[in-house]
Amino acid sequence: MSVQLWTYILVGATFALYIGIAIWSRAGSTKEFYVAGGGVSPLANGMATAADWMSAASFISMAGIIAFAGYDGSVYLMGWTGGYVLLALLLAPYLRKFGKFTVPDFIGDRYYSKTARLVAVFCALLVSFTYVAGQMRGVGLVFSRFLEVDINTGVIIGMIIVLFYAVLGGMKGITYTQVAQYCVLIFAFMVPAIFISIQMTGNPIPQLGMGSEMVDGSGYLLDKLDGLSTELGFSAYTDGSKSMIDVFAITLALMVGTAGLPHVIVRFFTVKRVKDARKSAGWALLLIAILYTAAPAVAVFAKTNMLETVVDKSYEEQPEWLKNYEDIGLIAWTDKNGDGRVQYSPGDAFKGNKNKPDFAAESRTAVGNRETLNPSENANELYVDRDIMVLANPEIANLPDWVIALVAAGGLAAALSTAAGLLLVISSSVSHDLIKKVVNPNISEKGELIAARLSAVGAVCVAGYFGINPPGFVAAVVALAFGLAAASFFPAIILGIFYKRMNKEGAIAGMVVGIVCMLLYMIKYKLGWFDEELPSKDEWWFGISPEGFGSIAMIINFAVSIIVCHLTTPPPAEVQEIVENIRIPSGAGEATGH
């Protein structure tokens, strides 16, 4: 059978499974729609949380970043994984004990203010829409390659599938669908990794294979990749080029951003007890680590195979996989020196505009029209979209067709699981936090459920637009979403739990200043809206990239919040008592005899 037929079978089977689960677990109340009825087991919730969090960025794009950034890509591994430790220790059990459905609900009640709730709703929508843009682009990428439709059509198909089970089942449907999606995505990620590890090093464990000797006796795999990289003029793969402060800032932003992501936090309201929230975080961390420890190995395998099979070969000799991705605009080549061979060296292969310096826009819109693109002054002739490295990895290694199709099913599972969680955050922010708590407090439960479903429909449409018109490659967009979460939610939540003197004025001022600082930095240094040319790295504040600036914005948020709260009236006594109570473990009174 062909790759396309295998893809239809595997993707069709997984979609049928997701839809069947959504029908079986459809929500009949707002509690089931928002928090799955609060009766999910810790293991199931851990699997659902892992699928919710391991988005298209984790499955499709992270190994691609590591493949091209080498050692520098480790910031994503450290930041995203470390964030879960923060979440388990500092947030999950306390938020679960507070007992609110959503992050804006916690902020609105803790800070006794509709204004605080509205600011939190705005931040939740901004973070979620930024994040969901990356997921819908991931869906479009997979469909465009494996089902031979264009990216826009792929995004629309993904929208329809997500809409079905998110609107019908709410959190209940999404939770059990995500359990299935975790199984699909982890199997799809690990099977080709194991295949290629055995193929290249003879070691069936990818995490160990990455550092093993090659089966052909040519030395250690990482040494070989270092040599291939330096021969082409790049720095050694295992050397880092980022400054220490930028590495620290990005890692911190991703960590605290993880702990402040609304679609992840809401998962801990779906379990029965406070201790189950902590257990869920533990299970999720273990399940996530399976993929995250394998991602560097997948990056090394893919980059080595690509350099050996593509670079300095004539165009006629190029493997079929390269031309497949070239047809959909995710790889592009122009023969600058006229020798008919594919040359790969440092520098952008083509000039982009100020908003798309990485040439992503041109590569998608100028399919098969390389001669019309303007070569840049450097000698690099090859453009490779970072997001294809995981998807193309089995093809580069000549694995069986069913393995190639399995990766497609896994990529869709990763993107759709996170997209569904984000859409639920968006719909609950509108229906529960905006309509129920601010606009129409007397709305019936049935009316609120209808509003939630209509909000989900609107959110899917907006998400689809961002998927068709993405602001960059998947992981970069997602990293910015983490920065926005770090700049807005994390200080308000941490201070709300651990600092009873924190009042509404301080929280509101901090969130507003933090999110504005992050947005302005993104707009200037990532999108280049204020300048004719995108500012260079030399102009970054303190040498910190836009992906890492969430750390600085978070510090500004903390400073503003604390200063303003001490210049204004303390919170009411009953609010301070609530803060004291949520930090006392359940059963503490019985244990101490009080």
pLDDT tens digits, residue range 218-277? 889 999 999 888 888 888 888 877 888 888 898 998 888 876 666 777 777 777 777 777
What pLDDT, on a 0 to 100 scale, did the predictor assign at position 586? Answer: 53
pLDDT in tens, 63-100: 888 888 888 888 888 887 788 778 777 777 787 777 76
Q: With bands split at pLDDT 50, 70 and 90, how would you rate the model's confidence at 514?
A: very high
Whether 47 contacts 179, CB under 8 Å? yes
- 374's tokens: 């303007």
Of residues 288 and 273, more confidence is placed in 288
- Contacts made by residues 87-92, CB under 8 angstroms, sequence distance 24+: 87/258, 87/259, 87/264, 87/265, 87/281, 88/278, 88/281, 88/282, 88/285, 90/259, 90/494, 90/497, 91/259, 91/265, 91/268, 91/493, 91/494, 91/497, 92/265, 92/268, 92/277, 92/278, 92/280, 92/281
pTM: 0.79
pLDDT at 205: 92
Q: Tell me the average pLDDT of the chain.
A: 79
In terms of Cα–Cα distance, which of 494, 509, 505 is closest to 557?
Answer: 509
CA distances for 418 relative to 101, 177, 352, 364, 486, angstroms: 18, 11, 30, 24, 19
Percent of the chain at pLDDT above 70?
85
Confidence at 423, pLDDT banded by 50, 70, 90? confident
Does domain 3-210+221-305+395-472 match CATH 3.40.50.920?
no
| Residue 477's pLDDT band (cuts 50, 70, 90) | low
Rounded to an integer, the average pLDDT of 309-321 is 84
The mean per-residue pLDDT over the stretch 124-134 comes to: 76
- Degrees, nearest 5: CA angle 412-415-418: 140
- What does the block give as tokens for 154? 């792929």
| pLDDT given at position 354 | 32
Instruction: Give pLDDT tens digits for 392-406.
Output: 888 888 888 888 888
Question: Residue 594: what pLDDT?
Answer: 43
What tokens appear for 417 in the block?
A: 């699981």
Q: What is the pLDDT of residue 511?
A: 94
Top mean pLDDT of 293-302, 379-388, 528-537 is at 293-302
pLDDT of residue 533: 67
pLDDT bracket for residue 58 (50, 70, 90)? confident
Q: 382: which DSSP letter?
A: E
User: What mean pLDDT comes out for the span 95-114?
Assistant: 81
Go through 78-116 and write b for each residue having 16 or more CB atoms within 10 A of its CB, e for each that does not.
bbbbbbbebbbebbbbbbbbbebbbbbbbbbbbbebeeb
Q: Domain residues of the chain, as ranges?
A: 3-210+221-305+395-472
Among 235-249, 295-309, 347-361, 434-448, the range with the most confident prediction by mean pLDDT is 295-309
Helix, strand or coil, per DSSP, at residue 443: coil
Q: How far is Cα 171 from Cα 158, in angstroms, rounded to an integer?
A: 18
Task: Please state, in angstroms and rounded to a whole number, the distance separating the CA atoms of residues 200 and 214.
Answer: 6
Q: Are 529 and 490 in contact (CB under 8 A)?
A: no
Residue 311 has pLDDT above 70, yes or no: yes
Contacts of 503 (CB under 8 A, 6+ apart): 111, 565, 568, 569, 570, 571
Whether pLDDT at 327 is above 80: no
pLDDT at position 357 is: 34
Between CA 415 and CA 62 the distance in angstroms is 13
**How far out from the chain centre does Cα 564 lie?**
33
Supply 27's token pair.
């929500």
Question: Alpha-carbon dihedral of residues 455, 457, 459, 465, nearest 10 degrees?
Answer: -150
pLDDT tens track for 166-190: 666 566 677 788 888 888 889 999 9
The DSSP 8-state label assigned to residue 194 in this structure reads H
pLDDT of 513 higher than 90: yes
Is the pLDDT assigned to residue 120 strictly greater than 80? yes
- The pLDDT of residue 497 is above 80: yes
pLDDT above 70 for 359: no
Mean pLDDT of 386-390: 80
Tally of residues, the chain: 594
Which of the pair, 560 or 361, is modelled with greater confidence? 560
pLDDT at residue 422 above 80?
no
- Please give the torsion angle defined by the CA atoms of residues 462, 425, 125 and 264, in that order, rounded to the nearest 10 degrees: -120
Judge whether 376 and 347 are in contact, CB under 8 Å. yes
